Structure 1
Amino acid sequence: MLLTPGLAAFDMDGTLLNKDSQMTEVTKEACRQLREQGCKLVLSTGRTYGSAQIPIDSFPFDGYVCSNGATLYEADGTLVQRISLPKDIVMDMLDKLRAEPIYYELHDTASSRLMVKEDRDRLEKLIEEDISVEGMLMRRFAFYKLARIVPLAEMVEKVNSGESEIVKIFIWHSNPEKLEWVRQELEPWSTRATITSSGSNNIEVIPQGVSKWEGLRYFCDKWDVEPEKVMAFGDAENDREALTGAGYSVAMENASEEIKQLAKYIAPHHNEDGVATFIREHIIGK
């Protein structure tokens, strides 16, 4: 029996995109056919809205849940909801992260990926390691092409004045042991912020109570789609709530066993057009 979702939500990295961070033509065509059946299409990602646009190459989604649900956008890019991290948490975490050679970005509602100028040299050294490390090429692209480098004093002013509303702190390191140290250091703030991850080499800090699923509920209400008619695709810890809440939960073959156990269905590997294959076999029937 074919499945009949009213809304399909797609995580990007490790799910909708291949290893080269591309949305293939095969995947685009499957999504077009899915839309033709009346299903709404939503990107559900840890990325900012701006960086989410790069790999999809103008493919028209009906809505965007970005920064793990901290920002929501309509199809035309209009920001309709945002939830920011408390300023004191941002400043305290920034001080903690600057004490060690850790790659970090502060993401705001304007899709800026902010870095402190005084940390630029050591952050650059971290991304000049072995390119085989997960996320290394993406980190280099973000550092050289997307990051906005600002002096520390300016960063502090932007955050404290509210000019930059920080919705996520992104942390990356090639050494998992170093990330575990970071988690332990950030633990004191875990009651006021959510500490999650979109991959084995990163940590993402978002406002307390924010998740991709909570963001998707906005679009469910807008389009009158019941949770049991939502299909959520994902592969990582930050997809946990969406996979738990959606009636049709789909984990990728490349996901961890823990994430797979949350899902009702398993799609093929993200680098083998897994999303497209699942759509064709379980929804479109081709």
Structure 2
Amino acid sequence: MFSRLRLAAFDMDGTLLNEQSQMTEATKEACRLLQASGCKLVLSTGRTYASAQLPIGGFAFDGYVCSNGATVLEADGTLVQHAALPLEMIQQAVHTLRQEPIYYELHDTESNRWMVQEDRERIETLIEEDASVEGVSLRRFSFYEWSRVVPLAEMMQRIATGESKIVKLFVWHPVPEALVPVREQLERWSDQADITSSGKHNVEVIPKGVSKWEGLTYFCRKWGIAPEQVMAFGDAENDREALSNVGFPVVMENASPAMKELARFIAPHHDEDGVARFIRERVLADG
């Protein structure tokens, strides 16, 4: 069945990574074996390229689809394709987000995660509230280690001049229900941007028509690979387009029932080396 497989694409959080946001040694070894069989491996993630590098520990993927497809990079990290959000839409959306008690970042083509200085104290209070909530440790790491903090006026100036090309707005809250009204407000720009999510605690705004699948088609064209020769692993809403277009859609056991409806295959839970087990027990075992 899998003899025609030529490309495997992996979502990260909730899929390739365990609950500690790590790519385990078992997963790395299974991916090496798959790669050695002649299959190209591509990371397909909502993360920026820089934040995607940390948990994979130097594993050599053949390409990267980052920021939900808004940036596409070669194996060496060279940016080969990108799409930016419209200037006026960003300005208006940031003004809207600043009125809400939420965590938000602006991601650009250079993997920078921008924060507005005037909102930093409010955001810090939010991420210090509950250490048990999914993603809090990652949010804290981003807040203290990755984020570039500038005054609002400077941020708007960087965007206006094109010095910073914003490819994604990332919104997070420890209480998923709190994101419902925020998402509703962001929907007013649905003619200019797509609203998606990589988990129940976040909302992600990306350029219209951009998706992980759209990013993966760059590599399909480059390597002469047909959609039916592609396998995609995923678990969340931002994996929908990829799972809907590939020949081998694999959804994780931890995914929602709605996402499992897209599956041709179900892989074990992401915190139980689900990707590694599926590769070894199904793909490689099938020859």
Normalised TM-score (structure 1)? 0.98
What does residue 74 of structure 2 align with? 74
Supply the RMSD in Å over aligned alpha carbons. 0.9
In the aligned structure 2, how far is the partner of 1:132 from the partner of 1:229? 40
Q: For 1:123-138, list aligned pairs within 5 A.
A: 123-138=123-138
Matches for 1:159-170 after TM superposition, within 5 Å: 159-170=159-170
AA aligned to 1:28 is: K
Partner residue of 2:189? 189
**In 2, Cα distance between the equivalents of 1:272 and 1:5?**
24
Residue of structure 2 equivalent to 1:155: 155
**Cα deviation digits, residues 120-174 of structure 1 (max 9, x gap):** 0000000002111111111111111111111111101101110000000000001
String of CA shifts for 1:43-69, please: whole Å, max 9, x gaps. 000000010001001100000000000
Does the residue aligned with 1:64 lie in a helix, a strand or coil?
strand
Moved over 6 A (4+): none
**What's 2:24 paired with?**
24
**Any stretches of 5+ residues in structure 2 without a counterpart?**
none
Letter of the aligned partner of 1:149 in structure 2? V
Mapped partners of 2:124, 2:274: distance in 1 = 34
3-state DSSP of counterpart to 1:233 = strand
Offset at residue 14 of structure 1 (A): 0.3
In the alignment, is the contact (CA less than 8 A) between 1:211 and 1:241 conserved in 2? yes
Query: Residues 66-103 of structure 1, C-alpha deviation per residue, up to 9 Å, x if partnerless?
Result: 00000000000000001000011110000000012210
Q: 3-state DSSP class of the match of 1:221?
A: helix
Q: Secondary structure at the match of 1:243?
A: helix
How far did 1:177 drift? 2.0
Match of 2:171 in 1: 171
Tell me if structure 2 keeps the 8 A contact 1:3–1:282.
no
Q: Distance in 1 between matches of 2:87 and 2:238?
A: 23
Identity of aligned residues (%): 66
Q: Secondary structure at the match of 1:89?
A: helix
Partner Cα separation in structure 1 for residue 3 and residue 174 of structure 2: 39
Look up the match of 2:264. 264
Secondary structure of the structure 2 residue equivalent to 1:130: coil
Q: Which residue of 1 aligns with 2:206?
A: 206
1:141 has 2:123 as partner: no
CA positional deviation for 1:2: 4.7
Give the alignment of 1:83-94 within 5 angstroms. Answer: 83-94=83-94
CA distance in structure 2 between the aligned counterparts of 1:271 and 1:69, rounded to whole angstroms: 25
Structure 1 position 27, deviation (Å): 0.3
User: What's the secondary structure of 2:244's corresponding residue?
Assistant: helix
Q: In the aligned structure 2, how far is the partner of 1:101 from the partner of 1:9?
A: 35
CA deviations on 1:232-281 (whole Å, 9 max, x unpaired) are 00000000000000100000000000001101000000000000000001
Aligned partner letter, 1:263? A
Work out the CA distance in 2 between the residues paired with 1:209 and 1:100.
27
Q: How does 1:102-141 map to 2 (within 5 A)?
A: 102-141=102-141
TM-score (norm 2): 0.98
CA distance in 2 between partners of 1:129 and 1:158 (Å) = 32
Unaligned runs of 5+ in 1: none
By how many angstroms is 1:198 displaced? 0.1
